[in-house]
Amino acid sequence: MKKTVLRKPKGFIDVYKHKPGAEKDRTHYCPGCGHGILHKLIAEAIEDLDIIDDTILISPVGCSVFAYYYFDTGNFQVAHGRAPAVGTAVSRANPDKVVISYQGDGDLAAIGGNNILQAANRGENIAVFFVNNAIYGMTGGQMAPTTLLEQITTTTPYGRNANTDGFPMKMCEVLSQLSAPTYVERVSLHDAPHIRRTRAAVRKALQNAKERKGFQFVEVLSTCPSGWKIDPVKSMEWVKEKMLPQFPLGVYKDVSNEAVAVERPVPIFDPAIVWEKLGISSVADVDFPRGDVPDEYRKMSIRVAGFGGQGIMVTGQALASVALEYGYNVSWLPSYGPEMRGGTANCSVNIQDGTIGAAEAVKPGLLLAMNRPSLEKFEKFIVPGGTLIYNSTLIDIKPVRNDIKVFAIPITGIADELGNTRVQSLVNIGAYAAITGMFNVDHVVELLPKLFKGKKQAIIDLNAKAVKAGYDYVKENF
């Protein structure tokens, strides 16, 4: 139908209700910003192609981070540079939707450089609109990958120098060399005829996307009057005079006519299958009756800390696994350095009847410190009235707090006496069971074959001894 009036396209939301503040009828963009012009062209195309309800827009990081305020589409806002990666996932999971990745030059050509290359090379069903304004606008006008030679920015005060800063990144030239992309064009917004050309490119890319014809890439030379510190009208002239010679316009690749709809297997996201693979059930699976647990231990937030190799993670996992069998909700969150042995390691465990919020035990009710640095680091965070268990074999200092319960246990020593230092994790579990009354030692021993699936019986027996040794030590000494 021929238009009789040019007005705000239906691809935009009527009232920008997601936008904070009072001005819900206008954009956050600076006067004369190219984003606004491109937004309008995209919104108009979405309306005219009748894909408003079938479009999912990925907003980037940069000034257009808030594109989701404006477009009446499905929206994602993603981490810097990751729009093509998230776009891939969205497109694969929703093969009948049109996925738009809207990105700026810093987002697409710098931090997300590899993301865009890989998505283009896979020929993902995504339409990418790449706004190139030769600068980082949002952060205050720093040099971007596409900054022109000689261009002055806040980080190139003498102008961009190819020797030190490299050349402007030409994404259309790069991507058009790949086999997979369907349509690659560079257009510009610098005057009315070129805006019409851009309008045609936007519509073509979205038409191709609607027909699932793979990867569409439209680079749009745009303005940043605020970042360039040039007024909006002169900015348009600046694009024509400065940008066009370094970023030639034109169609770099177009196989739209030969392209066929790309079909890919749709991944199945069925939680039940994942649960089955992991051997877990959504129903609370209570194997053991709970003992008489004192109130203070009914809602546990535990930090286990020590050297890597001391069984810190195993201790945490065992605590959580055993508690699970008593029907508690549990979480286990590891935190460690890159070393497999000898670095510092700690983990957080939560054992609760209610919903677990933060998985990290920032203020633990119980600290299990396996070495001196861990005691020094975490003792101050224990909640008043909380519990400290420390490895007195290795820790030669005394705790400083006097508002907590302290259990000094020679954990490493007990394990050594059993003939294997590595069983200290289970000494920990035994001691924990004795102190809190949360676990029955016999239950823990019963669980060992499950915890150490695939291990030899001798190892399981040794661990069973360790559990009992830890338990007995506490019962005899405290």
Partner 1 sequence: MTDAKYPRSEVDPDKCKGCGLCIAACPKKVLVFSPKLNSKGYHYAEYVGSGCVGCGNCFYNCPEPDAITVYLRNYDPEKVV
Minimum distance, C-beta of residue 7 to partner 1, in the bound complex (Å)? 4
Which of 6/397 has CB closer to partner 1? 6
For position 17 contacting partner 1 by CB under 8 A, the verdict is no
How many whole angstroms separate alpha carbon 466 and alpha carbon 461? 9
Instruction: Give whichever of 192 and 458 is closer to partner 1, judged by the CB atom.
Output: 192
SS3 429: helix
Residues in contact with partner 1, shown as a per-residue x/- string from 28 to 67 under the rule CB under 8 A: -xxxxxxxxx-xxx-x------------------------
- How many residues of this chain bind partner 1 (CB under 8 A)? 36
| Least distance CB 281 / partner 1 (angstroms) | 51
Minimum CB distance to partner 1, residue 320 (Å): 52
CA nearest to 253, candidates 222, 211, 213 = 213
Contact between 470 and 414 under an 8 Å Cβ cutoff? The reply is: yes
Residue 226 near partner 1 by CB under 8 A: no
> Residue 273, SS3?
helix
Q: Are 251 and 197 in contact (CB under 8 A)?
A: no
Residue 477 CB contacts under 8 Å (≥ 6 apart), including other chains: 409
Interface segment toward partner 1; rule CB under 8 A; list 20-28, 205-213, 302-310, 443-451:
20-28
Quote the CA–CA distance of 135 and 81 in Å, as a whole number.
15
Does 135 sit near partner 1 (CB under 8 A)? no
Q: How far is the CB of 92 from partner 1 (least distance, A)?
A: 31
Residues 6+ apart with CB under 8 A from 229: 141
The one segment of 127-135, 188-196, 244-252, 362-370 that binds partner 1 by CB under 8 A:
188-196
**CB nearer partner 1, residue 12 or residue 136:** 12
Q: Give the strand pairing for 329-336 and 344-352.
A: antiparallel
Q: Quote the distance between the C-alpha of residue 334 and its chain's center.
A: 17
Asked if 272 interacts with partner 1 (CB under 8 A), we say no
Phi, psi of 408 (to 5 degrees): -90, 115
Q: Are 217 and 184 in contact (CB under 8 A)?
A: yes
Question: C-alpha angle 335/338/340, rounded to 5°?
Answer: 90
Calpha distance 394→4 (Å, rounded): 84
Among 95, 113, 159, 232, binds partner 1 (CB under 8 A): 232
Fill in the DSSP letter of residue 353: S
Residue 137 binding partner 1, by CB under 8 A: no
Segment 331-370, which members bind partner 1 (CB under 8 A)? Answer: none
* Binding flag, residue 225, partner 1 (CB under 8 A): yes
Q: Which is nearer to partner 1, 28 or 160 (CB)?
A: 28
Residues 193-222 that bind partner 1 (CB under 8 A): 195-196, 199
- Which is it for strands 366-369 and 300-307: parallel, antiparallel or unpaired? parallel
Residue length of the chain = 478
Whichever of 199 and 213 has its CB closer to partner 1, that residue is 199
Is there binding between residue 102 and partner 1 (CB under 8 A)?
no
Q: In whole angstroms, how close is the CB of 23 to partner 1 at the nearest point?
A: 9
238 binds partner 1 (CB under 8 A): no
- Would you call 339 helix, strand, or coil by DSSP? coil
The residue among 28 and 468 lying less far from partner 1, judged by its C-beta, is: 28
**Does residue 352 contact residue 329 with C-beta atoms inside 8 Å?**
yes
Asked if residue 9 binds partner 1 (CB under 8 A), the reply is yes
Min dist CB 149 to partner 1, Å, is 27
Q: Which residues bind partner 1 (CB under 8 A)?
A: 2-9, 12, 25-27, 29-37, 39-41, 43, 70, 191-192, 195-196, 199, 225, 231-233, 236
